[in-house]
Amino acid sequence: MSRVLIIGAGGVGRVVTHKCAQVPEVFDAICLASRTVSKCKVIASEIKRPIEVAALDADDPSQTAALIRKFKADLVINVALPYQDLAIMDACLETGVAYVDTANYEPRDEAKFCYKWQWAYHDRFKEKGLLALLGSGFDPGVTNVFTAWLHKHEFDTIHQLDIIDCNAGDHGHAFATNFNPEINIREITQRGKFYENGEWIETEPLSESQVWDFPEGIGPKKIYLLYHEELESLVKHFPGIRKARFWMTFGDSYLTHLKVLQNVGMTRIDPVPYKGTDIIPIEFLKALLPDPASLGATTKGKTCIGCLVEGTKDGKPKKAFLYNVCDHEACYREVNAQAISYTTGVPAMIGAMMVATGTWKGDGVFNMEQFDPDPFMEKLNIHGLPWKLTIL
């Protein structure tokens, strides 16, 4: 039995709270905390079980530590923004509780996706006998577990990994992002990068694309090469991988809007003086765009995220695609959220469950693929993200 503190009452926080509440045998008490406590209250009111709520500025580790002590949390699930990761890890170290997140730390002034800051906490978590589980969303998260499962059961060696993320949903807006707009746009507008033969090769943003035919009626879609954080940990933990890439679908309208916004400077992350004050354009843009948490009611269609793997089994070449398909409207019916929040929030709950039940044990900072994938894969099927394997 575990007392879980969930930080961040956004789209993902809503799903994590609903899903933790569905598993009272593991999470016997739940507290949802965020900067704006009214958002926590709305989510709590949707759930039959009592959910405690609290106002919290998680940039301040002393506030988080005080709340952890007051609520007597055993475990923190951080689904605020990547900017808060280190401050929340500091609070977990101070109070001696386990930590789970879904996105790697990013400094506010530099759109840089890498694990070095969080991996640097390994020895401190190890000394305290605590576990920090990094990247327990879908990608990173389930994609790491998929790779570990394929490595364990289907392949002797994996040579090539392509993570493919498709959102074939339509939210009815001219332009909106499916998760936090600031984090999303920072991720997409950075230079592309992939791994080949021990080296990282950079590409111009969104300059490489191909068409991939998605299963279950989604059909062919254009996918674009991006850099994504799980590539860093996966090539570290599976050194046999010779090539690793990440691909995502984007519609033409989305890309046209993004290009215009970039061209006029609206995606800049540096302060711009305006009428005697400093404005960060991407933060202002976030204020104009639809709140991703509000898209659930109008989004229709499916997502498909999976790992396309090439390698060998019993000395013979083998290729497989392991994936999940998720339906936006079904997610909304269950937890009032669209599938991007759902596919992130469910694995965050399952990762927390692995830690809370001691199914995954370890002292230090760990990525998902470092643990036995089997119990996590079993829970995906039970808690709303069933997976399928196609041998190609």
Binding site for ligand NDP (CB under 6 A): 7-13, 34-36, 39, 56-59, 79-82, 84, 102-103, 137-141, 179-180, 183, 292-293, 340, 344
H-only helix segments in 99-171: 116-119, 122-127, 142-153
**Is-contact 276 121, C-beta < 8 A?**
no
Query: Nearest to ligand NDP by Cβ — which residue?
Result: 10
Helix axes 373-382, 339-356, angle to 10 degrees: 130
Least gap, CB of 197 to ligand NDP (angstroms):
27
Preceding amide of 215 cis, omega within 30? no
Least gap, CB of 312 to ligand NDP (angstroms):
29
Which region, left, alpha or beta, applies to residue 364 given φ > 0 means left and ψ of -120 to 50 means alpha? left
Token digits for 375?
């119990």
d(CA 196, CA 386): 31
Least gap, CB of 183 to ligand NDP (angstroms):
4
- Taking the least distance from each CB to ligand NDP, the nearer of 155 and 335 is 335
Query: How far from 72 is each of 3, 97, 100, 217, CA to CA, in Å?
Result: 7, 9, 17, 47
**Is-contact 88 97, C-beta < 8 A?**
no
- Taking the least distance from each CB to ligand NDP, the nearer of 2 and 177 is 177
Least gap, CB of 314 to ligand NDP (angstroms):
33
**Is-contact 20 43, C-beta < 8 A?**
no
d(CA 40, CA 28): 18
- Taking the least distance from each CB to ligand NDP, the nearer of 103 and 335 is 103
**Is-contact 3 74, C-beta < 8 A?**
yes
- Taking the least distance from each CB to ligand NDP, the nearer of 318 and 325 is 325
- Taking the least distance from each CB to ligand NDP, the nearer of 2 and 338 is 338
- Taking the least distance from each CB to ligand NDP, the nearer of 82 and 281 is 82
Least gap, CB of 80 to ligand NDP (angstroms):
4
d(CA 57, CA 55): 7
Least gap, CB of 316 to ligand NDP (angstroms):
33
Least gap, CB of 177 to ligand NDP (angstroms):
8
- Taking the least distance from each CB to ligand NDP, the nearer of 57 and 110 is 57
